[in-house]
Chains A and B, each alone.
Chain A
Amino acid sequence: MKSEYDVLVIGGGPGGAVAAWTAAKKGLSTCLIEKRPAIGAPVRCAEGVGKKLLTEFLDPDPRWISADIKRARIIAPDGTEIQLKEDQAGAEVGYVLDRKIFDRELVWKASEAGADVYVKTRAVKPILEDSIVKGAVVESCGTQQEVRAAVTIAADGVESKFARWCGIDSTVPVDELMSCIQYLVTDIDVDPVCNDFYLGNEVAPQGYLWVFAKGERCANIGIGIPAAKRGPGNRAKDYLDHFMAEHYPDGKIIECIFGGDPVCKPLDCTVTDGLMIVGDAARVVDPITGGGIGNAMVTGRLAAEVAAEAIAKGDTSKAALMPYDEGWRNSKMGQGLERNYKVKEFFIKLSDEKMNDLADSIAHIDFAEFSVRALVMELIKRNPKMLFELRELKDALKH
C-alpha cells in the first residue's frame, strides 16, 4: 500500500465503491479499504433497489440480479392488500439484488478504473493536523501504517466511527434505529416477481416485515422495528420467528442476516476539512423503506466528483467540499429524504384500525407507480374526511 493518495475511501459497500470508481475515473490516485476479509459479505441488506437509479450506474446483469420485480403488495393489519403493479407503459418497480455479487462488481469497476483495493484493512484512527483530516492510520493483518490523502471519504456504514473520530457526532437516536433480522428462505411458495410488505403492531410495530422474492421458491424474509422498546421476548428475532411459524413453517433458512438501519435525519453536515461522509454513514437512508443502496451510490459519486474539483484547485477545506453537502441535500434525493421523514413520522403514529381504514380506502386501485408519493397522494384524495389528520402529509408533499 502506498503511503499517499489523492483520495482514501473507507468502506467497500456501494457508497465507497462508487466513490472510488468515480475518483479513479477522474484520474485521481485512489485507495479503497474494507475492514472485512471479503467485499459483499456478510450481507446486511434486504437487497431491494429501484431500477431507474441503479441503471444510472450499471447496466443490469443477471449475475447480480436475483429477481426482476413486477408487483408489490402492502398488507394491512387486517389482511387488506394494496397492490402495486408495473404498468403496461413500462413503469418499473425494482430489482432484488444478490449483494455478494453486486458489491464485488462495483469494487471491480473501481479497481479496473485504477483504484487500489485492500480488504481486511481498517481505519484505526484519522490523521488529524490542526483539526484537518489528512487520511487515516490503517491496520492490515496486524500491521499499522499511515495513509495520507487530500480527501478522505468515510463510507463506513451504519456502524461508522470515522466521522465521530473527526469530531462529527453520528450517533443514531435509539428510536430511529431499526433493529433488523432477515432469513434467506428456500423451498417456499412465493410469487417470484413480487415483493410483500406487512404492516401492523402485531407483525412489526412501527416498522414493517418484508418478503422479497429472490427467484423461484426463495425469498428474503425480514423485519425492521425501532430499537427503542426492545427487550427480552420482543426483539426483531421474536417477531420474525413468529411470522415464519405462521406463514412459512416448512421453509428452509439458509442464511441469517442481522443489522441496524438508521431511519433518522441525515447528519447535519456531511463534510469537514479534508473529509466527506457518504451513504449509511451519512445517514442518507430512506426513512420509509429503509433503503440505502441507491442513496449511497448517489452520494458516493457526488463526493468523488466534488473531491476531484477540490483537489484540482488545491483546496480541500470544508468550504471547498461543501458543494457535496449542498448538492445532495438540494437534489431530488435530498428533498425526497426530507419528505419521507415527515411521512414516516405520520405513519408510525397510526393505530392498526387507522391503518386498516387507510388501506381499505385505496385497496381497489391499481397503482402504476411504486412510490411513497403516489401512495400518499392517493390516500389524501380518497380520505376527505381524514383530511385534517392527513394535513401533515399534505404539507410534506409540497417539498
Chain B
Amino acid sequence: MLNIRREICGYCGACVSVCPEGALELIDAYLTVDSETCISCGICTKACPLGALEVTDEV
C-alpha cells in the first residue's frame, strides 16, 4: 500500500499528476490516496521532490 509521510510531504501535488489511476488528490494542503483505486505501482514515489511517498508491504 501507499504510505504518505506527512511530516515530509510539501503538499505540492507533483505526485497527483503522474498517478495513472487518478488515486491521489490534493485537497487544499492535504494529500489523499484512495486505497480502493491505488494499485501501489510506485510511480508517484519517484515524482515526489522530497521522498514523502513510499510503497510498503503492509495491507
What is A's interface to B at a CB cutoff of 8 Å?
35-37, 42, 44, 120, 122, 157-161, 164, 170-174, 177, 179-181, 227-232, 235-237, 256-260, 262
How far is B19's CA from A171's CA once the two chains are assembled, in angstroms?
6
Residues of B within 8 A of A158 (CB): 13-14, 16-17
The docked-state distance in angstroms from the alpha carbon of A214 to that of B47 is 27
From A36, A122, A179, give the contact of B48 (CB < 8 A). Answer: A179
List 14 additional A-B contacts (Cβ < 8 Å) besides A36-B28, A231-B45, A262-B17.
Answer: A157-B13, A158-B13, A158-B16, A159-B26, A161-B22, A171-B19, A171-B20, A180-B49, A181-B10, A230-B46, A230-B47, A258-B14, A260-B15, A260-B17
Is B59 engaged at the interface, CB distance under 8 Å to the other chain? Answer: no
Q: Are B14 and A227 in touch, CB under 8 angstroms?
A: yes
Asked if A179 and B47 sit within 8 Å, CB to CB, the answer is yes
8 A Cβ contacts from B4-59 to A: 10-20, 22, 25-29, 43, 45-51
Decide yes or no: A161 and B28 within 8 Å by CB, A174-B18, A227-B47, A260-B17 being known contacts: no
The one of A35, A171, A227 that contacts B27, using a Cβ cutoff of 8 Å:
A35
**7 intermolecular pairs with C-beta atoms under 8 Å apart:** A122-B28, A159-B12, A172-B17, A236-B49, A237-B49, A258-B14, A258-B50
Is A227 in contact with B51, judged by CB distance below 8 angstroms?
no
Q: Chain B: residues with CB nearer than 8 A to chain A?
A: 10-20, 22, 25-29, 43, 45-51
Which of the residues B11, B18, B50 comes within 8 Å of A177, measured between beta carbons?
B18
Cα A258 to Cα B26 in complex, Å, equals 14
CB pair A228 B17 closer than 8 Å: no
**Contact present for B28 and A37 (CB under 8 Å):** yes
Chain A residues in 8 Å Cβ range of B45: 231
**How many pairs of A and B residues are in contact by the CB < 8 Å rule?**
96
Docked complex Cα distance between A159 and B10 (Å): 13
| Residue with the highest number of chain A CB atoms closer than 10 Å, among B25, B47, B50 | B47
Residues of chain B within 8 A (CB-CB) of A160 are 17
B49 partner residues in chain A, CB cutoff 8 A: 179-181, 235-237, 258-260
Q: In the bound complex, do residue B17 and residue A44 qualify as a contact, i.e. CB atoms below 8 Å apart?
A: no
The residues of B that contact A235 with a CB separation of less than 8 Å are 48-51
Nearest CB of chain A from residue B40's CB, rounded to whole Å: 15
Measured CB to CB, the closest approach of chain B to A233, in angstroms, equals: 9
Say which residue of B12, B16, B20 sits within 8 Å of A161 (CB atoms): B16
Whether A256 contacts B18 in the complex (CB less than 8 A), given A174-B43, A180-B49, A236-B49, comes out as no
Option from B19, B29, B46 in Cβ contact (under 8 Å) with A231: B46
B20 to chain A, nearest CB (A): 5
Cα A256 to Cα B49 with chains together (Å): 12
Nearest residue (CB) in A for B15 is A260
Q: Closest 7 CB pairs between A and B?
A: A260-B14, A159-B13, A258-B10, A159-B16, A258-B12, A227-B47, A236-B49
Across-interface contacts of B28 in A (CB, < 8 A): 35-37, 120, 122
Quote the shortest CB–CB distance from A238 to chain B (angstroms). 9
User: How distant is the Cα of A161 from the Cα of B14 in the complex, in angstroms?
Assistant: 12
- Is B22 within 8 A of A172, CB to CB? no
A296: min CB distance to chain B, Å: 15
| Residues of B contacting A36 in the complex (Cβ-Cβ under 8 angstroms) | 28-29
Q: How far is the CA of A161 from the CA of B31 in the complex (A)?
A: 13
A24 CB → nearest B CB, Å: 25
How far is A257 from B51 in the complex, measured between Cα atoms in Å?
A: 14
Question: What separation, in Å, do the CA atoms of A179 and B50 have in the docked complex?
Answer: 9
Q: With A and B bound together, what is the CA distance between A159 and B19 in angstroms?
A: 10
Please indicate the chain B residues that have their CB under 8 angstroms from the CB of A42 in the complex: 11, 29
CA separation between A167 and B29, bound complex, in Å? 25
Give A231's nearest chain B residue, CB to CB.
B46
CA distance A158 to B26 in the complex (A): 11
Complex: A177 Cα to B49 Cα, angstroms: 11
- Does B14 lie within 8 Å of A179, measured CB to CB? yes
- Do A227 and B50 form a contact, CB below 8 Å, given A35-B27, A36-B28? no
The residue in chain A whose Cβ has the minimal distance to the Cβ of B17 is A172
Cβ B47 vs Cβ A259 within 8 A: no
Output the least CB separation between B14 and chain A (Å): 3
